[in-house]
Amino acid sequence: MTQPRGVLHRMRAAFLLLLLSTSLFAQAIDPLPFKSHAEEVRFQELTRQLRCLVCQNENLADSNADLARDLRHEVFQLMQSGRSDEEIKQYLVDRYSKFVLYDPPVERSTLLLWFGPLLILLTGAGVVIATVRKRTRNNPVPASANNGANDEGDDW
């Protein structure tokens, strides 16, 4: 797969790029005729959530790849034709698969991803609660312990 590579992948392909740069490098800096600032902000936010397929760890907004520019323009056109963000995402997913979504939808294949942290949190919270209860129940704290007296030393 020869393809325009991202700005950061040049080290290995330095020589190759000499040949590629003219026809393949577009610019991420890409003024588009937005109707309003709100529309521009919406475009920026949307393209930041979409992954460039060529230079795989960049989003569409930041990528210099030629394909990224084409897709930015496509997104822009779709916005002009009144499609919602969800419709535009679906449009790209239909063509390039869910891989383009930096914000993976909650579905069967991503249950672990989205609810795994919650599971870990609940387990951890259980351990913390058990620890605190055990330590408070078995060991009544003397009422006078550690209050103010040695505030300046080790025990502040």
Partner 1 sequence: MSRLIPFFGFLLLVALFGFGIWWNTQHDQREVPSPLINKPAPAYALPKLDDPAQTVSRASMLGKPYLINVFASWCIACGEEHPILMSEAQRIGVPLIGYNYKDEPDDAKAWLARHGNPYSLIIADREGRTAIDFGVYGAPESFLVDAKGVIRYKRIGPLTPEVIEKELKPAIAVLAKEAP
Partner 2 sequence: MTPELGQLALILALLLALAQGVLPLIGAWRGNRALMAVARPAAAGQAVFVALAFGVLSWAFLHFDFSVRYVADNSNLALPWYYRLAAVWGAHEGSLLLWIFILNVWTVALAALSRNLPEVFISRVLGVLGLVAVGFLAFILFTSNPFERLLPMPPDGGDLNPVLQDPGMTFHPPVLYMGYVGFSVAFAFSIAALLGGELEQAWVRWARPWTNVAWGFLSAGIVAGSWWAYAELGWGGWWFWDPVENASFMPWLVGAALIHAQAVTEKRGSLRAWTILLSIFAFSLSLLGTFLVRSGVLTSVHAFASDPRRGLFILCFLAVVVGGSLLLYALRAPKVAGGKPFRVISRETAILIGNLMLTVAAAMVLLGTLFPLIGDALNLGKISVGPPYFGFLFTLLMMPVVLLLPFGPYLRWGSKGETTLLKQVLWRAGLAAVACAIAAAFVTGWQMKAIAGTAAAVWCGVGTLLYVIKRWREMPAGRRYPAEMAGMLLAHFGVGVFLAGVLLTEALSVERDVRMAPGQSQSIGGYDFRFDGVHVTEGPNWHGDQGVVTVSRNGREIAVMHPQKRTYTRGQVQTESAIDPGVTRDLYVALGEPMDRKDPEGAWALRLYHKPFVRWIWAGGLLMMLGGFFSAADRRFRTQRVAATEPVAAAVTQESRA
For residue 114 the two structure tokens come to: 């989205």
For residues 107 and 80, give the distance between their C-alpha atoms in angstroms, rounded to a whole number. Answer: 30
Nearest partner of 95 among 80, 66, 110, 75, judged by Cα: 75
- Decide whether 48 or 98 has the Cβ nearer to partner 1: 98
Q: Are 3 and 17 in contact (CB under 8 A)?
A: no
Return the one option of partner 1, partner 2, none that residue 94 interacts with (CB less than 5 to 8 A, by type).
partner 1
What DSSP state is assigned to residue 140? P
Q: Does 93 bind partner 1 (CB under 8 A)?
A: yes
Span 30-89, contacts to partner 1 by CB under 8 A: 53-54, 56, 66-67, 70-71, 74
- Decide whether 3 or 99 has the Cβ nearer to partner 2: 99
For residues 2 and 5, give the distance between their C-alpha atoms in angstroms, rounded to a whole number. Answer: 9
Kindly determine how many residues on this chain lie close enough to bind partner 1 according to the rule CB under 8 A: 22
Minimum Å gap between C-beta 90 and partner 1 is: 11
For residue 156 the two structure tokens come to: 């502040």
User: Binding residues for partner 1, per CB under 8 A?
Assistant: 1-3, 16, 19-20, 23-24, 53-54, 56, 66-67, 70-71, 74, 93-97, 99
